[in-house]
Amino acid sequence: MPNIKSAKKRVQIGAVKQARNRVTMSIMRTSIKKVKIAAAAGDRELATTMYKNAVSAIDKAAQKGVIHKNNAANKKSNLAKLVNNIA
């Protein structure tokens, strides 16, 4: 435990930010899983709809600084390949 007042405050601020980041990551991961499930089922329309939601969630995470912008671009690219390759 920190003894200095400013260090205690930083611990509290870090906990709040960690909670916010956890929510953002959870939403992003869930939306990505939904795209993968729809793609595995072979439902192109559902996968396309879920892809749009996932891209939105990924962009929000990158905008908030939860993930790096290049990481976001890689995730979107991989999902696009997955959706486009549905037979």
**pLDDT value of residue 80:** 97
* Residue that the structure tokens 């905008």 belong to: 63
What does the pLDDT average to over 7-16? 96
Q: Supply the pLDDT for residue 41.
A: 94
Return the SS3 of 72.
helix
pLDDT, mean over the chain: 96
Among residues 46, 32, 31, which one has the least CA distance to residue 86?
Answer: 46
CA–CA separation, 45 and 79 (whole Å): 14
Q: Residue 1: which pLDDT band, with cuts at 50, 70 and 90?
A: confident
Q: What is the CA radius of gyration of the chain?
A: 17
- The residue-averaged pLDDT of 63-79 equals 97
Closest by alpha carbon to 48, among 78, 84, 73? 84
In the predicted model, is pLDDT for residue 62 greater than 80?
yes
Q: Which CATH superfamily is domain 5-84 in?
A: Ribosomal protein S20 (1.20.58.110)
Among the listed residues 75, 54, 53, 65, the one whose alpha carbon sits nearest the alpha carbon of residue 18: 65
